A and B are shown apart, each in its own frame.
Chain A
Amino acid sequence: MSESLSFAGIEPPSPTLSARLGELADFFAAPTAGRLTDEQRALSLGIARRLVADVAARIDPAIDSAALWADWLLRGIPDAARLVGVCFARAEEHRWRALSAERMVPAPLAGAADEASGAASDAPMTARERAYLGLRIADRRRLDAYGQPKLAIADVDEDIFRVLLHEVAAWRLAEVSIDTGRAASLGDAVRHAVERQADEGGMTAAAIAYHEAVGTALPETARMAIAAHDWPALIALAAAAQRRRYADMALSLLTAETAALPSLLAPLRLDRDALALLEASLAMLPARAVNDADGAAPEAGR
């Protein structure tokens, strides 16, 4: 976009000017389209930064990922067109879950004793419990130690991962090119990282396992997930039921118009009450990338 822009009287345009004009041109092309909020931009960028750091650590833990990121911020982030999709999907899912948790009201503690005695049980796990535990573990891999959202390597599309590996390796090569031994080992590190990713199961694999373990109890399990605001479980069941990737389903759900929810979640055979609760939760999320027909959804920050 920026290369095609020219501005009479200013030659050559500065990168900042080009970026601003590019942004303005995008705006002119679709003036009424909703734009990214600062929160969405910051969350997505943070997710990308943590992904790049994780990819770099897979190649060589000695890579200074802060310097790498600073360099890429100046030059532009590689494979940005594809990277934005996964980062945005993860950011939107995080916003939804954070908002949902913020508004969550713990029920009275009546009945807690029963739950506690259940918690202390030493009974072996059922297949369904084991699958749910796997899903929870895969889900929590998508947060860093400080609770910030990230993408687990296992959840990243193979092509995007490979491109990032090559770009990080190329950046590293420029740094260690005088050390021929270390430069040669980069290629091996990339190959090893690709093989390792292929062996890892992320949210999509965990979702399939959970969906299979749930079996015929799918509608009830999905309904309970909605009642508990257990959105990862709901997205996982919906994704597996339609043989889609977790991230794709998350983005579809988060950008779906209200009227589209029943068909999107049809395989889960949800009743009207469950759908209404889901609709209400989604409606509370500000600045969703969707056109709400009634105009009642908040567009700006809270």
Chain B
Amino acid sequence: MAVVSPSQPRQLQPVEANRPVISVQHLTKKFGDEIAVQDVSFDVPRASIFGFIGPSGSGKTTTVRLLTGVYAPTQGAVTVLDRSPAQFSQADRARLGYMPQLFVLYPNLTVWENLNFAASLYGMSLFRGKRLKEALAFVELEEHRSKLARNISGGMLRRLSLAATLVHDPELLFLDEPTAGIDPVLRHKFWEHFRELKSQGRTIFITTQYVSEAENCDLVGVQNNGKLLLVDTPQGIRHHAYGGEMVDFRTTQPFDFQAEARLRALPFVRAKTVRTDANGMRIIVDQASTATPALMDWAQQQNIQVQSVEEYVPSFDDVFVELVRPEASHA
């Protein structure tokens, strides 16, 4: 196997560009009577980052295990790299990279030895030293290469796991909460590298509890209680959560109820509009860019002195809460 550096990505196997790398249809997994994943369907296009977001116990890891062939589905179908995971050959598996949620390598081996072990598992050439060094450099562990894994911090263990996942330059990556326990600076760097891998044509399926990381994904699947609530782009997720985009509308004088009723009656204003205080309202609209001038015109017609009108972009934490709220109240 040729030594491959991130700057010289290996040749990917030809796959039809329009066929999804991962396709999941009505996937269900039960453990006894307990349903871990229920009727989940989604596609992951090639060369994309698919974020799988959900609270602890929502079925994210089970889904990853179903996609990698660790678990067999109870119902439904999974296709990964045009093949069912149950039918994976050794060559198919060599195209995958998998980072489990916990550190599963060996505490009594050094950082370097663990990485070397992972490289060997994928049958990498004996002349792989350069590639190992690159992987260590990427996760900034070069200085710690001689330390035993049991003597490094939890964050370093995550970085070592990630290096072990990337060392054989996989085509499709399954990363189960790779940024858990990583400091914000390094987390940012991780995402930069994920984007770089994507730009090289690699596909990344990533789970995370950091909802804000959804921003970095091309597609986001929101999972709760084993059910996939929706799959969309980050913008689409926001739009879906609130029924549109949000505009913060503030006036110089307190806003009376008649004025509020007239504003709510405007055709581009959605029902979820809320009053934030006596002078302000957060208005849900179809599109913030067109709604902002329309609101200014309406205020002028109504002789309302406007202090500010600007688009409000909610955090993904808020978006996520908004999305799972109906589920939680239903439960």
Tell me, yes or no, whether A binds B.
Answer: no
Q: Which residues of B contact A (CB under 8 A)?
A: none
Q: Which residues of A contact B (CB under 8 A)?
A: none
